[in-house]
Amino acid sequence: MRFAIVTETYPPEVNGVALTVQGLEAGLRQRGHEVSVVRPRQPSDGAGIDDTLLVRGASLPCYPGLKFGLPATRRLLAQWKASPPDAIYVATEGPLGWSALRAARRLGIPAATGFHTRFDDYMRDYGLRFLQHTALRWMRRFHNGADATLVPTRELAEFLQSQGFRHVVRLARAVDAKHFSPAKRDQALRSSWGLGTDDVAVIYVGRIAAEKNLDLSIRAFRAIRQAQPDAKFVWVGDGPVRERLAQEHPDFLFCGVQRGEALARHFASGDLFLFSSHSETFGNVTLEAMASGVPTVAFDYGAAREHLVDGVHGAAVESDDDFVAAALRLAADAALRRRQGEAARSAMRALHPDQVAADFDALLTDLALTRRSHHATAAAA
Distance from C-alpha of 164 to C-alpha of 259, rounded to nearest angstrom: 38
Distance from C-alpha of 41 to C-alpha of 54, rounded to nearest angstrom: 5
Q: What is the mean pLDDT of residues 28-56?
A: 90
Instruction: Say yes or no to pLDDT of 349 above 70.
Output: yes
* Phi and psi, residue 157, nearest 5°: -60, -45
Distance from C-alpha of 43 to C-alpha of 116, rounded to nearest angstrom: 24
Percent of the chain beyond pLDDT 70? 92
pLDDT tens string 312-332: 999 999 999 999 999 999 999
- Return the pLDDT at 289: 98
- Return the pLDDT at 15: 85
Which structural domains are found in the chain, ordered by start? 2-174+352-380 (3.40.50.2000), 182-348 (3.40.50.2000)
- Return the pLDDT at 126: 60
Q: What is the mean pLDDT of residues 111-130?
A: 74
- Return the pLDDT at 50: 82
pLDDT tens string 159-172: 999 999 999 999 99
pLDDT band at 62 (very low <50, low <70, confident <90, very high): low
DSSP secondary structure letters along 151-172: ES-HHHHHHHHHTT--SEEE--
Distance from C-alpha of 68 to C-alpha of 91, rounded to nearest angstrom: 12
Give the pTM.
0.88
Q: What is the mean pLDDT of the chain?
A: 92
pLDDT top residue among 230 and 119: 230
Distance from C-alpha of 127 to C-alpha of 75, rounded to nearest angstrom: 37
pLDDT band at 135 (very low <50, low <70, confident <90, very high): confident
